[in-house]
Amino acid sequence: MPELPDIVVYIEALAARIVGQKLARVRLLDPFLLRTAEPPIGAVEGGRVMGLRRIGKRIVVEFEGCLFLVFHLMVAGRLRWRALGGKAPGRIGLAILEFSNGALVFTEAGTKRRASLHLVQGEEALKRFDPGGLEVLDIDRTSFASRLKAENHTLKRALTDPHIFSGIGNAYSDEILHRAQLSPIALTFQLTDEDVARLHSATTAVLSEWTQRLREDAGESFPDKVTAFRDEMAVHGRHGKPCPVCGAPVQRIVYADNETNYCARCQTGGRILADRALSRLLKKSWPRNIDEL
């Protein structure tokens, strides 16, 4: 799922192309994409783009008349910028927004249709899309600590809960926890002041560094290669590969459609965390620490 760094770079690329432009036509290729009926989608046609903003992992395009298009990419949704008159993107295509200078194409890979588009009018209607998470790059360490310890959760859950912090998902939470040398299952109530300081520093550093890296990778082009798996990442998506800090093989915890990646030597004192499925299968044969593995 595109997270804060990806969304920021998307917005910057879109702002350079569509702010001040009029939306000529909206072509819905998959009617299920649009989750609102009032105002009708035709209400934005002919409207001028006034600005863009981010709400968590959502992209908001503001039109004159206080109309807002809200894009939620979810896991497999992506945005592409194409020349007018180009071929529709086949079965992955969800919508095409045509401007005078090009077309914004909304796609979603796979068969699960999770991505969504909403059209709402007024700031009050827009507020319902904000779950209330704090913008980590805009707060100091004291505010970060207060929100982090408001309830007792694992660090992985606390970082990825949109009601606690805004814009952080599965990929960058793995990178943040590795940078902070903290276990994904450590409980927020058990953190020392030193742990919290290290986590705050790691969070701001990882998000800032990756935003800048993605910005430089895109350059003047539209970011077409948005992915949660990058070779330069320390642990996310790198199960079995060597940790760039200590060389130990990266471990994982698999649950539902996601997995958490971590380095046992750097983050858990060498302890191998139980995988809900595999550890039950292996039982006594499950390795307890990285050296035993």
Over 70: is that where the pLDDT of 46 sits? yes
C-beta of residue 293 within 8 angstroms of C-beta of residue 273: no
Please report which confidence band the pLDDT of residue 276 belongs to, taking 50, 70 and 90 as the band edges.
low
Torsion of CA 262, 265, 269, 272, to 10 degrees: 60
CB atoms within 10 A of CB 69: 25
CA distance 258 to 242: 21
Tens-place pLDDT, residues 90-99: 899 999 999 9
Q: Which domains does the chain have, with CATH numbers?
A: 4-129 (3.20.190.10), 136-285 (1.10.8.50)
Edge-to-edge strand list for the sheet holding 67-72: 49-55, 58-63, 67-72, 116-121
Tens-place pLDDT, residues 195-230: 999 999 999 999 999 999 999 999 999 998 899 899
- The top-scoring range by mean pLDDT among 82-86, 233-237, 283-287 is 233-237
CA distance 48 to 58: 20
Supply φ then ψ for residue 248, to 5 degrees. -70, 150
Tens-place pLDDT, residues 176-191: 999 999 999 999 999 9
C-beta of residue 166 within 8 angstroms of C-beta of residue 8: no
pLDDT of amino acid 289: 57
C-beta of residue 7 within 8 angstroms of C-beta of residue 57: yes
- The top-scoring range by mean pLDDT among 84-98, 147-161, 254-268 is 147-161
CA distance 228 to 11: 17
